[in-house]
Amino acid sequence: MTPAARLQAAVEILDEVIASVRDNGAPADAIVTRYFKARRYAGSSDRRAVREVVFRAIRRSADCPSTGRSAILGLASEQPDLSALFGQPRGPEPLKAEEAIAAAGVVPDWLRDELSPLVTAEEQAALLDRAPLDLRVNALKGARDALLPEFVEGSATPLSPWGIRLPADTRIDDHPAFLGGAVEVQDEGSQLIALACAARDGERIVDLCAGAGGKSLALASAAPRAAILATDSNRARLGQLAPRAARAGAAIETMLLNPPRELDQMADWRGAADLVLVDAPCSGSGTWRRNPEGRWRLTPERLSRLIETQQRLLAIAAELVRPGGRIVYAVCSLLGREGPGQADAFLSRRSGWVGHDPLQGIGRADGPGRLLTPGHDGTDGFFIARFDSPC
Ligand SMILES: C[S@@+](CC[C@H](N)C(=O)[O-])C[C@H]1O[C@@H](n2cnc3c(N)ncnc32)[C@H](O)[C@@H]1O
């Protein structure tokens, strides 16, 4: 493909991404893959180049642009080499006067007041930095010091005792340590959520929003003789856990939940868990560097629904924890209402429960919990809190 044809492909893909955001459809990554499946003539360097332009255009706009062309015009306004491709054969239509150009920005206007004041204007650009590839070493299969030399460009993560950091876009899926279950892909911030759980052998643990089981696997690695139940309401996500657990050599029970009947389904666990991890569904505002179009998908209504769900899940967790047990609450969010707001509300509703600093010295204190941010900590953005139940 010529450079002009690549740019036109980026315009077309962005049009599909914008339509998909409006219809709550497939993510941008999947749309890029689908686009090239139908265009076998494109080589791998074409795909890489187009994907790079598409994601640069997505990162550049805080709000969803009106069209793919306006998103690319925004990029071209800062990059004259792109402007020169308009009007070339197979390229985008020639430039016209007074066309809509997408505005540049990091945080959508309506979200500015929701964002934690710890994420100052100077820090905001880092919300869209390219993220490195972090691995978590599975203690069931090896130790970090022994595995590090297997990764030429790897270094120990500064905050997690289990992490290895590799450059962004490193391919890991054919590495023997990955295939053998000695390492898992997991952002350092997610590893710190598992660390905050302080899981111990012999404990009964519920990972209430386990998804595909990333945190459950980290808990099993930290406490191999704990009894871990991983639950989620999404069948497809939870279904990915069994093969991952088999590869990791971890024993994890799973249960598919059927809201609003979660507590009936988990009757055996009522008042019996030493630890419930609530890695709750959230705005994803801490993961924009991996998923920049998440900014376009969030709406005030969606945010309100997420906050209600988080509150409901915390209430379920409180029923499952034994007297003297603990909840670890985490969201990959930098919004006050999902983080310290939710934690304060939980503690104010429940007498006898106390907040406990989950990660002494790591990240920054934010209400009763800690905040990790890309700019300050080099991790995805997370709020993490721990609540200890009265004995
Ligand atoms: C942030 S994700 C969890 C990520 C996961 N812990 C991991 O490490 O990959 C939130 C999860 O909550 C799940 N969820 C939403 N409502 C739920 C409910 N009522 N009960 C259990 N899980 C729920 C979603 O399906 C989603 O997988």
Q: How does pLDDT run across 265-313, given as a tens digit for each residue?
A: 999 999 999 999 999 999 999 999 999 999 999 999 999 999 999 999 9
Q: ipTM for the complex?
A: 0.99
Six-digit token string for 249: 């050599």
C-alpha distance from residue 1 to each of 22, 48, 72, 81, 357 (Å): 30, 12, 18, 17, 54
Residue 268 annotated as binding? Answer: no
Ligand 1 pocket residue status of 321, Cβ below 6 Å: no
- Average pLDDT over every residue of 163-168: 96
The model's confidence at residue 12, banded by pLDDT at 50, 70 and 90, is: very high
CA dihedral (121, 122, 123, 124) in degrees, to 10, reads: 50
Question: Which H or E run includes 351?
Answer: none
Question: Which pLDDT score, from 0 to 100, does residue 139 have?
Answer: 95
What are the domain boundaries of the chain?
3-105, 133-185, 188-388
pTM of the model: 0.95
Q: How does pLDDT run across 185-207, given as a tens digit for each residue?
A: 999 999 999 999 999 999 999 99
Instruction: List, in order, residues 6 or more apart from 19 with CB less than 8 Å away.
Output: 25
Ligand 1 site-directed mutation target among 190, 209, 310, most atoms within 8 Å of CB: 209
Question: Which pLDDT score, from 0 to 100, does residue 360 have?
Answer: 86
User: What is the bridge-based pairing of β-strands 364-366 and 354-356?
Assistant: unpaired
Residue 264 annotated as binding? Answer: no
Q: Report which ligand 1 atom has the smallest distance to the Cα of 186.
A: 8
Residue 243 has pLDDT above 90, yes or no: yes
Q: What is the mean pLDDT of the chain?
A: 96
Q: Out of 197, 209, 282, 332, which one is annotated catalytic?
A: 332
Architecture of domain 188-388: 3-Layer(aba) Sandwich (3.40)
How far from chain centre, in Å, is Cα 68?
25
Q: State percent of the chain over pLDDT 70.
A: 100
Alpha-carbon span 170 to 348, nearest angstrom? 45
Alpha-carbon span 376 to 287, nearest angstrom? 14
Question: Which pLDDT score, from 0 to 100, does residue 169 have?
Answer: 85
Q: How does pLDDT run across 203-229, given as a tens digit for each residue?
A: 999 999 999 999 999 999 999 999 999
The model's confidence at residue 361, banded by pLDDT at 50, 70 and 90, is: confident
Superfamily for the 133-185 domain: Sun protein; domain 3 (3.30.70.1170)
Residue 90 has pLDDT above 90, yes or no: yes
Q: Is the peptide bond before 260 cis (omega within 30 degrees of 0)?
A: yes
Task: Give distance in angstroms: CA of 42 to centre of ligand 1.
Answer: 37
CA-nearest residue, atom 8 of ligand 1: 214
User: How many helices and strands in the chain, by DSSP H and E?
Assistant: 17, 13
Question: Which pLDDT score, from 0 to 100, does residue 195 have?
Answer: 98
Alpha-carbon span 80 to 101, nearest angstrom? 14
332 is annotated as an active-site residue:
yes
